[in-house]
Amino acid sequence: MDHQARTISPHPDIPITVGTELLLELVDLKLKMRGELAGGEHRRYLIVKLPDEDLGFSVDSLKGSKMILRYLFKGSIYGFKSEVVTTLASPSKLAFVAYPEKVEEFKVRNTPRYECILPGSVELGDETVEIVVIDISTKGCRAIINTGELRDRDKSLGALDIGKGLVVTVQLPGAEEKLRFQGEVKNLSRDSERAVVGLLFKEADNKSEGKLSSFLTLISAVKPRE
Same domain assignment for residues 13 and 64: yes
Q: Mean pLDDT lowest for which of 20-24, 90-94, 145-149?
A: 145-149
d(CA 179, CA 150): 23
| 148 falls within a domain | yes
Look at residue 173 and tell me whether its pLDDT is greater than 80: yes
Domain boundary among 107, 124, 155: 107
Residue of higher predicted confidence among 195 and 89: 89
Of 49-58, 59-68, 118-127, 135-144, highest mean pLDDT? 59-68
Extended beta strands in the chain, E state:
5-8, 21-26, 31-41, 45-49, 66-73, 76-88, 94-98, 103-107, 114-124, 127-136, 140-146, 165-170, 179-190, 194-204
CA distance 182 to 50: 31
pTM: 0.52
CB half-sphere exposure, 221, CA atoms < 13 A? 4
222 band by pLDDT with thresholds 50, 70 and 90 = low
Q: How confident is the model at residue 2 (pLDDT cuts 50, 70, 90)?
A: very low
Assess whether 67 and 27 both reside in one domain: yes
Question: If you average pLDDT over residues 200-215, what whole number do you get?
Answer: 84
The answer to whether position 224 is within a domain reads no
Based on the fold, state whether residues 118 and 215 are members of the same structural domain: yes
Specify if 225 maps to a domain.
Answer: no
Q: Residue 95 belongs to what domain range? A: 5-107
